[in-house]
Amino acid sequence: MATAELLEVEVAYATPAQQYLLSVSVPYGSTVEQAIQQSGICEQCPDIDLSAQSVGIFSKLATLQTVLNHGDRVEIYRPLLVDPKLQRKERAQRQEKDHR
C-alpha cells in the first residue's frame, strides 16, 4: 500500500532462462532509473546495460528520466537479436516456397 511519501512500483526483466519481477517502494517524484537502481536488478543481472537497453512502463517506451506513478511496472527490454520485420519476410518467403 502506498504511503504519503512512497510509491509502490515493480521492476521487470526477463532473460531466456528466468523472469524477474521485483517490488520496490520509491519516493514520489522518483524516475524509472531510480526505481531500477533501488530494485537491485542490475546486481542480480550484470548483463543489463541501461545506457544501451530500452526501458518502458507497461509496454510503452519510456526514458530513464520518466517520473513514476503508483503501481507502474518498469520494464527493461533486452536487445532484439533479429529484426522482426526481416524475420516475418523470411518466414513468408519460406511458406510461399513450401506451397509451390
Beta strands in the chain (DSSP E): 6-14, 19-27, 55-57, 60-62, 73-76
- The architecture of the domain spanning 6-98 is Roll (3.10)
Q: How far apart are CA 65 and CA 67, in angstroms?
A: 6
Structure confidence by residue, pLDDT tens digits, 31-71: 999 999 999 999 999 999 999 999 999 999 999 999 999 99
Q: Are strands 73-76 and 6-14 parallel, antiparallel or unpaired?
A: parallel
Q: Is the pTM of this model over 0.85?
A: no
Greatest extent of the chain over all pairs of C-alpha atoms, in Å = 66
Structure confidence by residue, pLDDT tens digits, 77-89: 998 666 777 778 7
Instruction: Give the mean pLDDT of 2-31.
Output: 92
| Distance set, CA 47 to CA 1, 24, 31, 63 (Å) | 32, 21, 21, 19
The domain spans of the chain are: 6-98
